[in-house]
Amino acid sequence: MSKKIRIGGASGFWGDASLASAQLVSKGNVNYLVSDYLAEITMSIMARARAKNEKLGYATDFIQDLIAPNLSEIDRKGIKVISNAGGVNPLACAEIVESLISEAGLNLKVATILGDDLITRIEELSDQNYEEMYSREKFPEKDNILSVNAYLGAFPIASALNDGADIIITGRSVDSAVTLGACIYEFGWSPDNLDKLAGGSLAGHILECGTQATGGNFTDWQEAIDNLANIGYPITEISEDGTFICSKPEDTGGLITKGTIAEQMLYEIGDPQAYILPDVVCDFSDVEIDSVGKDQVLVKNAKGYKAPENYKVSLTYKEGFRGGAMLTYYGIEADKKAEMFSKAAFERARQGLRKNNIADFTETSVEIIGNESQYGEHRSIDGSREVVAKIAAKHEDAVGIKILLREITGLGLSTPPGLSGFAGTRPKPSPVVRLFSFAIPKDEVQLKIITDGKGKDFKHKSKKSLKSEEVTRPQEPKIPKADQKEMTLVPLIQLAWGRSGDKGNKANIGIIARSEEYYPYICKILTEDLIKDRFSHFLEGNVERFLLPGSNSINFLLHDVLGGGGITSLRNDPQGKGYAQIILDTLIPVPKDLI
């Protein structure tokens, strides 16, 4: 029998549930426990923490929730742990772990992967005039930079495992690398085993967001709510050929289906035939996803192309401040009352700015959530008598935001009737953190692996990668020729699952047909023009459409649609998490006998 390893995904973000690691250690029968804590904004938060205290700058959840309560069982069961919990301070994180191991009297080796943090090279990087890879903006002012980190890959992790490491802590690696590193080590994959590397990367992509693979954020949420408080965390059983089966621990909530796994595959990807990682460029267009039992889904047919010559670098920098408040109005003409209040708040705030000789806001936002006119007919709530007014702004100075927040509160007794809401203390200004991404040659990033106190250099070599224009694109599926059929209009949600997410200022929307027979009819209606129309109230860039016939899916990539994305944005949904929901009511003509 071919070798297989079981890997459990214990965290999808910094702040994930504390029950995950204990559940996987006790019930998962896993060989590896992996956890992902990092996002671009997380790096900037950790960088600020390290600036205040040189012992901080890592994911404290990793220590409190994963290591401290489970260390003895991890040792007893021989489970290896791989995590990017190191953030901007992997050595400090490793020091804590080593002290806990020593206190417990255990004999476990800890390794750290260093080299991703380029903050000390700001002067050098600035002099090289790097441009933002998407917007072509100029390199930020050096004094405003908070963090600079290259996205590292999986081969250094595999090397640390080969040196006998039991617990591996990285800084900024790609989310899937913690899974792929285990596969490379266990199966002996080389940089030329491209399809296998793509399969291992896809397994990591499924695990990296935790319970989003087991019913969280799922289109058919009603099927996943049983025992939601005890939802199961995902496990992938990976074979030497790069195929894998997704599951979760027995007697846990949620579910594993073709739909949950397909949605997660499409989550936050751009071109599915050029999903670029440090170790391989993945092609998911022919991936097949099939149920092979209750809460058992087989994933196969990922393809790989040669790894890129560069590392992607994510730089975060501060650019002024932002702030705002959310207020509820209910009763007759709730939306009109909220609009009037919002207008008055900005009029008063601008009076205060002028009085203090302060510049105007650099950007403002008013969203009347629940108002049917706010997003057009596609996000309407008919007859709503309760709305939320979200009032927000950006300003180059924190004082400008303070003035707005004070005036929002000060209007409390001057407002039209129906104002309500649950709140604590008055909101405060917060820094606007922007993302700047660029590519740096791999040979300009010096990596080091420290295992059990001993360090060694690591060099990642790669050859020229395949260009996206060299990829053969799938053909548009054809609607079967048949006798005249009576057609009927069916909401897309009855024919497909949908999942959306973000990458900086871009959003993606993945649509997966519930049946192969539905796919041609969905493709015919869901065009780039339809998506442009639906998101015209937000969209500033273009829309790309990609086909994935292996899973009967479509992926849309919307450029410049999130108002900057993340905490740069003033939007209520700055990460596009609900974008798929906007189009799932689209009416699709299909033959009556097909339904």
CATH number at 379 reads 3.30.70
Q: Which residues contact 513 (CB under 8 A, 6 or more apart)?
A: 495, 496, 519, 522, 552, 553
Whether residue 485 is predicted with pLDDT greater than 60 in this model: the reply is yes
Q: Is residue 126 part of a domain?
A: no
Q: Is residue 250 part of a domain?
A: yes
Q: Kindly report the CA angle at 181 between 296 and 7, in degrees rounded to 5?
A: 25
297 and 371 housed in the same domain = no
- pLDDT tens string 22-61: 999 999 999 999 999 998 778 888 988 998 999 999 999 9
Rg (CA), the chain: 25
303 and 345 housed in the same domain = no
The token pair at 28 is 């998962």
Query: What is the amino acid identity at position 119?
Result: I
Residue given tokens 């039991």 in the structure block: 166
- pLDDT tens string 145-158: 999 999 999 999 99
485 and 346 housed in the same domain = no
Please tell me what DSSP assigns to residue 348. H
Mean pLDDT of the chain: 93
Q: What are phi and psi of 63, to 5 degrees?
A: -75, -50
Q: Is residue 100 part of a domain?
A: yes
Last residue of a domain, one of 262, 284, 307: 307
CB 174 within 8 A of CB 151: yes
Q: Whats the size of the chain, residue-wise?
A: 595
Nearest to 277 by CA among 198, 366, 160: 198
Nearest to 445 by CA among 311, 347, 553: 311
Q: Is residue 135 part of a domain?
A: no
Last residue of a domain, one of 433, 463, 489: 433
Nearest to 581 by CA among 382, 381, 390: 381
Query: What distance in Å separates the CA atoms of residue 310 and residue 462, rounded to the nearest whole number?
Result: 9
561 and 479 housed in the same domain = yes
Query: What distance in Å separates the CA atoms of residue 372 and residue 378, rounded to the nearest whole number?
Result: 9
Q: How far lies 367's CA from each of 277, 383, 414, in Å?
A: 37, 18, 20
Terminal Cα distance for the chain, rounded: 42
Return the percentage of the chain with pLDDT > 70, whole number.
Answer: 95
What SS3 state is found at 107? coil
Query: What distance in Å separates the CA atoms of residue 511 and residue 580, rounded to the nearest whole number?
Result: 8
Q: Considering all CA atoms of the chain, what is the largest pairwise distance in Å, rounded to the nearest integer?
A: 78
- pLDDT tens string 310-359: 999 999 999 999 999 999 999 999 989 999 999 999 999 999 999 999 99
Q: Is residue 334 part of a domain?
A: yes
36 and 95 housed in the same domain = yes
Range of the domain at 522: 474-594
Whether residue 556 is predicted with pLDDT greater than 80 in this model: the reply is yes
302 and 324 housed in the same domain = no
Q: Is residue 450 part of a domain?
A: no
Query: What distance in Å separates the CA atoms of residue 438 and residue 461, rounded to the nearest whole number?
Result: 19
List strands edge to edge, sheet with 506-513: 496-503, 506-513, 553-558, 543-548
Q: How far lies 247's CA from each of 110, 161, 234, 244, 256, in Å?
A: 28, 25, 6, 10, 6
- Average pLDDT for 246-257: 96
218 and 268 housed in the same domain = yes
Ranking 136-150, 167-181, 214-228 by mean pLDDT, the lowest is: 214-228
Last residue of a domain, one of 307, 323, 338: 307
Q: What's the pLDDT at 380? A: 43
What is the pTM assigned to this prediction?
A: 0.94
322 and 398 housed in the same domain = yes
Work out how many domains the chain is built from and give that number: 3
428 and 493 housed in the same domain = no
C-alpha torsion angle, residues 286, 290, 292, 294 (rounded to 10): 140
- pLDDT tens string 81-105: 999 999 999 999 999 999 999 999 9
373 and 494 housed in the same domain = no
Q: Kindly report the CA angle at 288 between 284 and 292, in degrees rounded to 5?
A: 145
- pLDDT tens string 372-405: 544 444 344 444 689 999 999 999 999 999 999 9
Q: Is residue 262 part of a domain?
A: yes
Q: Is residue 132 part of a domain?
A: no
281 and 156 housed in the same domain = yes
Nearest to 537 by CA among 352, 365, 336: 365
18 and 67 housed in the same domain = yes
